[in-house]
Amino acid sequence: MRLRTQSTRRAARLGGTRLRSERAANHDAVVVGSGINSLACAALLARRGWSVLVLEREDELGGAIRTAELTEPGYLHDVFSAWHPLWVGGAAHAELGAELAERGLEYVNTDLPTATLFPDGEAAFLLRSTEANAQELGPEWPGVVESFAANADLAFGVLGTELWSRDGLKLGLRAYRRLGRRGLVEFAGTVLSSSRDWLTSTFASERAHGLLAPWVLHTGLGPDAAASGFMTQVIGFAVQEGGMPIPRGGGARLVDALVRLIEDRGGVCETGRDVDRVLVEDGRARGVRLAGGEELRARRAVIANVTPTQLYGRLLEGHEELGRRFRYGRSEMQIHFALSEPPRWEGDERLGRTAIVHLTPGLDGVSRAVNEAERGLLPAEATVVVGQPLTIDSSRAPEGAGLLWIQLQELPWHVKGDAAGELDTGDGAWTEELRERYADRIQARIARHVPNLESAIRKRVVLSPADLQAANVNLHHGDPYSGSLALDQNLLWRPLPSRPGHRTPVKGLWQIGASTHPGPGLGAGSGTLVAKRLLR
């Protein structure tokens, strides 16, 4: 499925695709791929005087950030990723935010970031203050916030530091001096705990469990996975403090602003440029070769925003085994609705004003759906992520209309069967028929809580795991997080235990992106870490 988007046309107007000339033949850094980590890295380098070239194989810039009139004219859908709390709260935005605002980027936010709606029609909300959340989650919440805030710099330091480096060692020493030996061991144990263990030992309310548990899916984990308890705390704290910001006009506005900043500082961004080899001379990366044979030189660094499968299986000779060792996680589906009117939720009136609503029976429901997907089954009762961007940004649809962004993060790539026993899964491949019939199940789930949904649908567009893989090479097997985040491929060990961090076996060649630490999300963590390392 080819997706022509708003960002494609804007990128062409910005001049990125017009600058294929001798100017591009020799740069300080060549960046392969144009996702958020690539653009943030290139912007940070360009601001410090580096000559930077960004090469994108697709016909638009931005990777998994795309805004398109995917359904009907006037309906601006964020096709893949949609929500930007990690970016707004991250180091790259702290450094670049003012300059991006000068280039037209505006963020809007909400006091109702997220809720969980349970099958009985009751809802629980995660709000923007400790006092309000104590009413929703229970009296334990203020203590959770106080405890987390006391060491928040260490928690976010784990996610914002190159762990296999001097900075990682400094972070460990800071934690040791503050916490002592026993306290440091306890902190490490907290980082590795599962969401189930943390939630059930912290909160008496099952509603609190069901409110927070779905968020571990957004980190590529399940509620029974190691480190999911730590990520539950990080996200709970981050959403309370930062809300659910999005760019006015669509996520591609962030891409536009970053590209303008790069080009204003002398950098070049090109589309339709498929890199098929990293050029290595005397043990050092010296540039790249394009699929058509053209060679582009890099004086100081080649930075590859690709998965290990791409890096070691295609771009770099002699290290194929590293690519074969890398594992991918669960697959994803996206459903986009253009509606003639806003959705009318039954129950709590706040649901219609909430940015993201999770539909789930609760902690056990999330766990069950994850388990079914990991066994190759279509979940009988998936966790449905219902995004409502119009609650924050009304510019994305015609006046009086509705728009929904649906994400399903508990699907198998090869479908062995249907846990509900309803759908014929054929040979296990994601066909159009299977895609649409499974989307029908999800639509019916939503409609039980939104009575006007089906009568208001003007158009529905569904992207299966196969569609996602076809749209973006880094979404291998429809995995939105570019690789399993099981403990042996997470934190200190991402992307691989034998090759952690962002250095590669070749000098001058760096790997960034969701496959590397600190993992997926729009925080641009890996691109920022590598840019800072190169600028030292």
E-state strands within 173-330? 246-247, 268-270, 275-281, 284-290, 295-305
Reported confidence tier of residue 275, pLDDT bands at 50, 70, 90: very high
Alpha carbons 431 and 425: distance in angstroms, whole number: 9
Reported confidence tier of residue 26, pLDDT bands at 50, 70, 90: confident
Alpha carbons 236 and 329: distance in angstroms, whole number: 23
Task: Please check the confidence at residue 16 and state whether its pLDDT lies above 80.
Answer: no
Q: How many CA atoms lie within 13 A of 536 on its CB side?
A: 7
Q: Which two tokens stand for residue 204?
A: 């008496």
Alpha carbons 536 and 32: distance in angstroms, whole number: 22
| pLDDT for residue 10 | 45
Percent of the chain with pLDDT over 70: 95
| β-pair partners for 26 | 297
| pLDDT for residue 318 | 87
Q: What is the pLDDT of residues 74-86, one digit of tens each?
A: 999 999 999 999 9
Q: What are phi and psi of 206, to 5 degrees?
A: -70, -25
How far does the chain reach from its first CA to its final CA, in angstroms? Answer: 42
**Secondary structure (DSSP) of 199-235:** HHHH-S-HHHHHHHGGGGGGGT--TTSTTHHHHHHHH
Span 464-484, mean pLDDT?
97
Q: What is the pTM of this model?
A: 0.94
Contact partners, residue 11, CB within 8 Å, separation at least 6: 17, 60, 61, 62, 255, 256, 259, 269, 271
Q: What are phi and psi of 17, to 5 degrees?
A: -85, -5
Q: Please enumerate, as own/partner, the contacts of 86-90 that have beta carbons within 8 Å and a separation of 24 or more.
A: 86/238, 86/521, 86/522, 86/523, 87/36, 87/254, 87/522, 87/523, 87/524, 88/242, 88/245, 89/238, 89/241, 89/242, 89/523, 90/160, 90/523, 90/524, 90/525, 90/528
SS3 58: coil
| β-pair partners for 117 | 123, 359
Q: What is the pLDDT of residues 381-412, one digit of tens each?
A: 999 999 999 999 999 999 999 999 999 999 99
| pLDDT for residue 25 | 59
| pLDDT for residue 48 | 97
Architecture in CATH of 6-107+248-324+483-535: 3-Layer(bba) Sandwich (3.50)
Listed range (51-65, 148-162, 364-378) with the worst mean pLDDT: 148-162
Q: What are phi and psi of 410, to 5 degrees?
A: -125, 65
Q: Which two tokens stand for residue 275?
A: 């890199």
User: Do the beta carbons of residue 308 and residue 496 sit within 8 Å?
Assistant: yes
